[in-house]
Amino acid sequence: MKQRFTLLNKRPRATHLLSAAFAALLIAMSGSSIADTETILIDDFSDKTNNSFGLPRQILDDTMVGGSTQTEIDVNNGIIHLAGEIVPPRGQPGWASTVLLLDGEGKPFDASKYKGISMLVKIDSGSISISANSTEITNFDYHSSVVLAPADGKFHQVDIPFDSLKRSWSEQTELNTQTINSLSIVAYGIQKTTFDYEIDKVSFY
C-alpha cells in the first residue's frame, strides 16, 4: 500500500471537534461500527513539552555522533515548527529527530488494531521520514518511510500504512505492530542542507 495525502485547510480546533461529533452521529445513524474509523491521537502539540500520552518529546540529532546539525523548535497554537541546517558527520548522513514516546518505561504499545500512521504536516524544505520503533529491533534500523507531501506551503494529511514501512540496511522483516514503543520524525540529508517543516497532528489510524 502507498502513502496517501489530502490537502486540508487549517481550521480552529473547535471546528474539528464539531466535525468529529457529526461524523460519529452519521456512523451511528448508518449502523456502522465505530471501530471502522477508530484512531488514537499520539500528539496534537497542544502542550509545549509533552505529547498526548503525557510524555516529554525527545529531540535528538547527529551531534552525538560527530555531526553539527542545528535545529530551532517552536511549539505554538497546537503546531510544532522545526527548522534548521543538516551538517552531517564525516561519511554519514546527517539527521535531526523528534521522538514521540508511547510508554514512559519503554514498554511496547499494541497498535495491531490500527492500519498505520497519520500526520497533518506542512513541508517547506528538506527531506522528512517517520519510523515506528519496535522493541524487537536492536540495531536502530527501524521500519520507516519517507513522508511525501507537496512543498506548497499548505498542510496535508499523509497516511502511511504500517505495511509500507521498510528497514534501510538490515534484512527486511515484517513490523510487529504489537511492539511499537515510540515514533521518530526525522529530517535528514547526506550533505549539508536546510529543513523547515510543521506538524499539526500525529495519530494511529
Find all residues with CB under 8 Å of 2, minimum gap 6, and list them: 161, 164
22 domain-assigned: no
Task: Give the single-character DSSP code of 177.
Answer: T
DSSP letter assigned to residue 138: -
Give the Cα separation of 74 and 48 in Å (integer). 8
Domain count, the chain: 1
In a domain, 179, yes or no: yes
Residue whose entry in the numeric block shows the C-alpha cell 509533552:
50
**Domain membership flag for residue 13:** no
For residue 38, the model assigns a pLDDT of 87
The whole-number mean pLDDT for each consecutive block of 10 residues of the chain, a chain of 205 residues, reads 48 36 34 55 98 97 95 97 96 96 96 97 96 96 96 94 96 96 97 97 98
Task: Specify the CATH number for the domain of residue 114.
Answer: 2.60.120.430
- What DSSP assignment string belongs to 69-131? -EEEEEEETTEEEEEEEE-PPTTS-EEEEEEEES-TT---B--TTS-EEEEEEEEEESEEEEE
In tens, the pLDDT along 90-124 reads: 999 999 999 999 999 999 999 999 999 999 999 99
Report the DSSP beta bridge partners of residue 99: 58, 184
Look at residue 20 and tell me if it is in a domain. no
Where in the sequence is the domain holding 109, given as residue range(s)?
4-8+38-204
Rounded CA gap, 18 and 174, in Å?
Answer: 38
Handedness of CA 155, 157, 158, 160 (dihedral sign): positive
Do the domain assignments include residue 92? yes
Distance of alpha carbon 125 from alpha carbon 133, whole angstroms: 25
pTM of the model: 0.80
In a domain, 21, yes or no: no
At residue 151, the pLDDT reads 87
CA-wise closest residue to 190 among 123, 112, 129 = 129
Question: Is 27 inside a domain boundary?
Answer: no
